[in-house]
Homo-oligomer: A and B are copies of this chain.
């Protein structure tokens, strides 16, 4: 750290939220992830939230082409990417106009003045330049002609202006790294590796990076502006890495494949924000993973079901509209009683909705969106890293209970990242799948195990167990087609009982934060976890009687939830939808749970949940 501690003493901060914002072509995602990487290496806890534009490459300078990356890091437990940024980097006017409202009053604003041309101002919708009309006076503005300084820094590499300008994000990164006492070496290493085949580009980028860093070191920044220090967080010891939800999910599936001894077969069709799970798994063929990009979502899930019948762990990954299309085939899997994992990386709906934004509005579809009484298991991941474990949990349940499992994540988990303590495979419980192989005269494929009500898994190719399955109702004993009324009643009840019974293999519902009784219980599921935890903690620090329960198992609910719900005077349920879990809780437990709903395609801010807590407590 001796590169930067020479000249000034650093102010110590507990946590900081930075948002990098610029044009899609400005490389904000790279800037953000390199900052994240370095910050993780420095031992801070952190959470990130990349926010892509819906367009692939919107014309430069437009507001809808703005790309953002927010990081929250600190020396304490960090659970969300932060409500409002302390620092905003605005690479062009469009980035400024779309992000300024979020910046904390008094926050630091780094502006790339060279991009505030007439044309860009107009594209962003400014009548006059905000740099000149005093409208930014509430912030600590650092006006820098980053473009000019970048060009100067890379001059010696003989690039054209256009190419030279490409490095301006690295200049910026250099400066911000310096501001928060971070080294540039990890980024240098990254650039050298990434541009190994284009050394000139690598060197120009590195020069820009170092120039930005040096600028902080040597230039006189306005007083009251940095530099800062953010001490290490007290994380539980171990080996860490950064992980996004979709990568964690893909890796969890691969781990599940080894823990179960089953080949992993993925049938998928690209859809935002689920596609990167397909991409990740397509890169993991060395683990015996088969990926099949089908012609549509229906074929994707059908291929997965075919694979499951063949003795694989059949998986299909998609988002809301894809789940809708898969409904009929998932119903067949319910009837076939085969293991199947359906991953729904939720996005804003209804219909095409807000495809690049996050939401939790597929819960009722997951639970009920099929014809007939068609029960299956629904679970949800709480954080990016949790996607790994929930993928394994989905596989465990699917195999043990011979059932489809719907695993819900969302766009926020998918793209967001967190430092993740890497587990060892040896520490993860195995759940080896068992195929029946014993030759049986008149094999009955639906004779159930007593404990789980699971049927036997006999895979084609096994001599002597030839049998036929399908979507028609079948006789409880023989498994043959049956139109008998009482049998159908019994089978419907049995399918329901099997799913209900999953709760027996799941730990009792725990309190996440706080006591098991009190004034107010906040119940959440999925990616609202971090925001709720922070809000409940803050409320408790302020002496309020608030606890948190977070559901990973939704159908069926874990045992003991009932008692927990009844232990509080009031229950609120924050969800990024118009009230879905709250419906299920009210119906199942007859508690007057109240929804706190944000349907904005954006995660909750901690403050929003704090407000909800306060008003619930006021109206006790």
Of A323, A327, A470, the most chain B CB neighbours within 10 A belong to A327
Asked if A492 and B599 sit within 8 Å, CB to CB, the answer is: yes
Q: Give residues of chain A (450-498) contacting chain B, Cβ–Cβ below 8 Å.
A: 470-473, 483, 485-486, 488-489, 492-493, 495-496
Of B355, B471, B489, B592, which is within 8 A of A590 by CB?
A: B592
Of B350, B483, B488, which is within 8 A of A373 by CB?
A: B350
Closest chain-B Cβ to A103's Cβ sits at a distance in Å of: 16
Asked if A489 and B599 sit within 8 Å, CB to CB, the answer is: yes
- The answer, yes or no, to whether A236 is at the interface (CB within 8 Å) is no
Asked if A373 and B351 sit within 8 Å, CB to CB, the answer is: no
- The answer, yes or no, to whether A523 is at the interface (CB within 8 Å) is no
- The answer, yes or no, to whether A235 is at the interface (CB within 8 Å) is no
- The answer, yes or no, to whether A393 is at the interface (CB within 8 Å) is no
Asked if A598 and B489 sit within 8 Å, CB to CB, the answer is: yes
How far is it, in angstroms, between the C-alpha of A323 and the C-alpha of B325 when the chains are bound?
A: 10
Contact A365 to B361, CB < 8 A, known contacts A54-B483, A334-B350: no
Asked if B599 and A483 sit within 8 Å, CB to CB, the answer is: no
Instruction: Considering the complex, give the chain B residue whose CB is closest to the CB of A328.
Output: B324
Q: Give residues of chain A (355-404) contacting chain B, Cβ–Cβ below 8 Å.
A: 355-357, 359, 361-362, 364-365, 367-374
Of B331, B493, B592, which is within 8 A of A351 by CB?
A: B331
Contact A331 to B321, CB < 8 A, known contacts A353-B472, A362-B371, A590-B592: yes
Of B355, B483, B590, which is within 8 A of A64 by CB?
A: B483
Asked if B600 and A590 sit within 8 Å, CB to CB, the answer is: no
Asked if A324 and B331 sit within 8 Å, CB to CB, the answer is: yes
Asked if A601 and B488 sit within 8 Å, CB to CB, the answer is: yes
Closest chain-B Cβ to A112's Cβ sits at a distance in Å of: 24
Task: Mark interface residues in A584-613 (1 if CB within 8 Å of B CB, else 0).
Answer: 101110101000001111100000000000
For A584, the chain B residues whose CB sits under 8 A away are 587
Of A323, A354, A496, A598, the most chain B CB neighbours within 10 A belong to A354
Of B361, B489, B601, which is within 8 A of A371 by CB?
A: B361
- The answer, yes or no, to whether A273 is at the interface (CB within 8 Å) is no
- The answer, yes or no, to whether A193 is at the interface (CB within 8 Å) is no
Asked if A368 and B373 sit within 8 Å, CB to CB, the answer is: no
For A173, the chain B residues whose CB sits under 8 A away are none
Of A357, A372, A489, the most chain B CB neighbours within 10 A belong to A372
- The answer, yes or no, to whether A445 is at the interface (CB within 8 Å) is no
How far is it, in angstroms, between the C-alpha of A471 and the C-alpha of B598 when the chains are bound?
A: 20
Closest chain-B Cβ to A268's Cβ sits at a distance in Å of: 17
For A361, the chain B residues whose CB sits under 8 A away are 371-373
- The answer, yes or no, to whether A50 is at the interface (CB within 8 Å) is no
Contact A471 to B327, CB < 8 A, known contacts A485-B600, A600-B486: no
How far is it, in angstroms, between the C-alpha of A361 and the C-alpha of B356 when the chains are bound?
A: 34
Of B328, B352, B372, B601, which is within 8 A of A335 by CB?
A: B352
- A354-B472, A488-B599, A590-B592 known, 4 other contacts, Cβ within 8 Å: A350-B374, A365-B371, A368-B368, A488-B601
Nearest 3 A/B pairs, CB to CB: A349-B372, A320-B371, A350-B372
Residues of A within 8 A of B (CB): 54, 64, 319-321, 323-325, 327-328, 331-332, 334-336, 348-357, 359, 361-362, 364-365, 367-374, 470-473, 483, 485-486, 488-489, 492-493, 495-496, 577-578, 583-584, 586-588, 590, 592, 598-602
- CB<8 Å pairs between A and B, sample of 17: A323-B371, A324-B370, A327-B365, A331-B349, A334-B351, A335-B350, A335-B352, A349-B373, A349-B374, A352-B471, A353-B372, A353-B471, A354-B473, A362-B371, A485-B601, A492-B578, A586-B588
